[in-house]
Amino acid sequence: MPAKLSIHVPGEPVIVRVVDEGRLLFLGRDIACDIVIAHESVSRRHAQILGNPLAWNVSDLGSKNGIRLDGERVTAAELTGACWFAIGDVFCEFERIDAKAQAHLHARAAERRSSSMAWAARIDGGSRSDRLVADLLRGIVDVAECQRGVLLTVDDTGQMRWRASCSLSPEDVAGSRFSGSRSAVERTILDRRPVYLSDPRDRAWLQGQASVIAHGIRALACLPLEHAGRLLGVAYADTSDEQKVFTDLDAELLGAFVDHAASVFAAAELDAQLADMSVWFSVEGTQADRATGVAPYWKSPDASASAGQPA
């Protein structure tokens, strides 16, 4: 019987692997490992997992921070049923699954890849620039399996503007009501890398933020829209679904979709057109897009409080 292993690296998408019986897997920071866990608490060659029809076992390979099962440090342990163990400071969820569940996981992944490809094909259609903005945001929210989203783009002065929203209004993103989400967006702008928050320990980073309290955010994804080293914008999506966990499949699909969108914009020189537009669009499902006002400027958390001025 195969097993599903979910590895929760803090601040990163959850690594999900289905492992067949009889296969020996090595886990660690070394890129030669079967499952690479990029975390400072994990040794280069940290642990191994082996399963057979009778039992699955995890064993330490002389690592610095060891393995913990039920809070106790162990050199080797049998993994029975559904359980959790820690490799260094990285928690791993283990679950034995049957062939039907394995087939469902594969079918679900294929379905999501197909949906992502359909959205990529849609933005290849060469429609007007505002439609591309809307389709990009719809695609991000749909591929991420989220409920809400916003898109920011860089205008002709180099300033970031809120450009489109899905199930969010300008009032929702104003001031402290978007504070927790604002912090994630700011991290994406500064680091030029995606931010995924869905693990319970990730949520501690957002604890007490007004947006989390007001909207019950349980998971969010924020990705830079870049081409040739230039930041064109930022795409954001979130959900109140407590079951939502961003996995490495989410990161693969969202990253590929956003990269493709950036290439489409740049190839058609639409980034310049987008920069000239200053209209805020509301994107609601399959309904027609609505212009709802002037796109407000993005204001960094430490920006001056002068309303309506570029940050």
pLDDT in tens, 170-221: 677 665 566 667 888 888 999 999 999 886 665 555 544 444 444 567 889 9
The partner residues of 93 in beta bridges, in order of sequence, read: 6, 84
The whole-angstrom separation of Cα 41 and Cα 21 is 28
The whole-angstrom separation of Cα 32 and Cα 30 is 5
Please say if the pLDDT value at position 302 is more than 60. Answer: no
Summary mean pLDDT of the chain:
82
Average pLDDT over residues 6-22: 89
- In this prediction, residue 270 carries a pLDDT of 57
Q: What are phi and psi of 85, to 5 degrees?
A: -145, 160
The partner residues of 238 in beta bridges, in order of sequence, read: 148, 220
- In this prediction, residue 117 carries a pLDDT of 94
Please say if the pLDDT value at position 311 is more than 50. Answer: no
The whole-angstrom separation of Cα 194 and Cα 188 is 6
Mean pLDDT check: name the lowest of 11-20, 153-162, 174-183, 260-269.
174-183
Q: Which two tokens stand for residue 214?
A: 């007001």
The partner residues of 86 in beta bridges, in order of sequence, read: 68, 91
pLDDT digits (tens, 9 = 90+) for 76-132: 999 987 889 999 999 999 999 988 999 999 999 999 999 999 999 988 865 566 677
Other beta carbons less than 10 A from residue 281's beta carbon: 22
pLDDT digits (tens, 9 = 90+) for 85-100: 999 999 999 999 988 9
3-state DSSP of the chain = CCEEEEEECCCCCEEEEEECCCCEEEEECCCCCCEECCCCCCCCCCEEEEECCCCEEEEECCCCCCEEECCEEECEEEECCCEEEEECCEEEEEEECCHHHHHHHHHHHHHHHHHHHHHHHHHCCCCCHHHHHHHHHHHHHHHCCCCEEEEEEECCCCCEEEEEEECCCCCCCCHHHHHHHHHHHHHHHHHCCCEEECCHHHHHHHCCCHHHHHHCCCEEEEEEEEECCEEEEEEEEEECCCCCCCEHHHHHHHHHHHHHHHHHHHHCCHHHHHHHCCEEEECCCCCCCEEEEECCECCCCCCCCCCCCCC
Confidence at 272, pLDDT banded by 50, 70, 90:
low
Buried b (16+ CB within 10 A) or exposed e, 118-141: ebbeebbeeeebbebbbbbbbbbb
The answer to whether 116 touches 143, Cβ cutoff 8 Å, is yes
Residue with the larger pLDDT of the pair 253 and 170: 253
pLDDT digits (tens, 9 = 90+) for 132-171: 788 889 999 999 999 989 998 887 788 888 888 888 776 7
The answer to whether 139 touches 123, Cβ cutoff 8 Å, is yes
Please say if the pLDDT value at position 253 is more than 90. Answer: yes
pTM more than 0.85: no
- In this prediction, residue 306 carries a pLDDT of 37
- In this prediction, residue 268 carries a pLDDT of 60
At what angle are helices 129-143 and 99-123 packed, to 10 degrees?
170
Q: Which two tokens stand for residue 61?
A: 């390979």
